[in-house]
């Protein structure tokens, strides 16, 4: 039953009482400005994903402009992790494009980036943050998100890998 549920794409809800803890990985520099990222280097990072690899520079540039907050991490000057939040900064937010370069995965960087983003002063008080995932339910639950029975995503049109 649980396996069946995990295969479904589920809307995941952020708990309001998320606790801040050991946010930063040593040697990594965290940025909360979209100006810290160029479309070119983000495109290089997207190449490692099925869902992001077809994104054009023009689309990525427009996306960065239109996204409320973009969070990134650099190691030796290189962009190695990214995520973004679309929000009104008061009532609602959604988390997208959580991504760590394969050479840096499995070291706690993805978790620390999300803690950094979700505890950011501009985001922390937003009472409802949702995200969308098919495979990372356990990962997201460890970061304070929870699934809600009976709530499934409704898409106006199917997401093609973009
Ligand atoms: C998913 C991702 C962001 C995780 O980043 P990471 O830095 O490797 O994650 P962490 O090292 O912080 O791992 C934290 C925990 O999540 C688990 N985890 C990491 N990636 C996972 C995955 N793909 N599926 C399930 N669990 C995963 C880890 O095993 C770890 O568990 P533990 O605390 O019990 O050891 C990274 O693997 C990635 O960029 N994947 C490709 C892009 C992607 O699919 N993004 C999500 C779509 S928006």
Could you read off the pLDDT tens digit of each residue along the chain, which spans 162 residues? 334 434 444 455 544 333 444 556 788 999 999 999 999 999 999 999 999 999 999 999 999 999 999 999 999 999 999 999 999 999 999 999 999 999 999 999 999 999 999 999 999 999 999 999 888 999 999 999 999 889 888 888 766 666
Q: Is 131 contained in some domain?
A: yes
Strand partners, 146: 13
pLDDT at 135: 86
- How far apart are the C-alpha atoms of 147 and 161, rounded to whole Å? 23
CA 156 from centre of chain = 21
Q: Is residue 67 part of a domain?
A: yes
Please check whether residue 113 lies inside any domain of the structure.
Answer: yes
Parallel/antiparallel/unpaired status of strands 28-31 and 10-14: unpaired
Domain contains 52: yes
Of 11, 10, 71, 12, whose CA–CA distance to 45 is shortest? 71
Q: Is 110 in the pocket of ligand 1 (CB under 6 A)?
A: yes
Whether 77 is covered by a domain: the verdict is yes
Burial class (CB in 10 A: 0-12, 13-18, 19+), 122: middle
pLDDT at 116: 95
Residue 159 lies in a domain: no
- What's the 93 CA to ligand 1 centre distance in angstroms? 21
Q: 23 CB less than 6 Å from ligand 1?
A: no
Whether 33 is in a domain gets the answer yes
Tokens of 30: 């965290």
Token digits of residue 70: 């973009």
Ligand 1 contact, 93 CB (< 6 A): no
Name the domain count of the chain. Answer: 1
Closest residue CA from atom 18 of ligand 1: 139
Radius of gyration over every alpha carbon of the chain, rounded to an integer in angstroms:
15
Domain CATH for 104: 3.40.630.30
What is the best residue among 70, 106, 117 to mutate for testing ligand 1's pocket, by most ligand atoms within 8 Å of CB? Answer: 106
* Residue 145 alpha carbon to ligand 1 centre in Å: 14
Q: Which domain holds residue 83?
A: 2-18+26-152
- Whose Cα sits closest to atom 36 in ligand 1? 100
- Whether 97 is in the pocket of ligand 1, judged by its Cβ within 6 Å, is yes
With respect to residue 160, please indicate whether it lies within any of the assigned structural domains.
no
* Residue 99, CB-side half-sphere exposure with 13 Å CA sphere: 26
């Amino acid at each position: 039953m649980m396996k069946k549920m995990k295969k479904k794409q589920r809307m995941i809800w952020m708990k309001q009482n998320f606790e801040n803890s050991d946010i930063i990985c040593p040697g990594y520099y965290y940025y909360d400005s979209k100006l810290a990222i160029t479309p070119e280097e983000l495109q290089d990072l997207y190449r490692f994903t099925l869902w992001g690899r077809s994104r054009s520079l023009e689309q990525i540039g427009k996306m960065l402009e239109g996204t409320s907050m973009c969070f990134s991490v650099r190691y030796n000057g290189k962009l190695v992790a990214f995520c973004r939040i679309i929000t009104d900064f008061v009532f609602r937010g959604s988390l997208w494009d959580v991504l760590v370069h394969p050479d840096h995965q499995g070291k706690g960087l993805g978790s620390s980036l999300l803690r950094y983003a979700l505890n950011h002063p501009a985001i922390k008080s937003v009472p409802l943050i949702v995200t969308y995932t098919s495979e990372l339910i356990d990962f997201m639950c460890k970061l304070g998100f929870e699934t809600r029975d009976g709530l499934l995503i409704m898409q106006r049109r199917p997401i093609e890998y973009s």
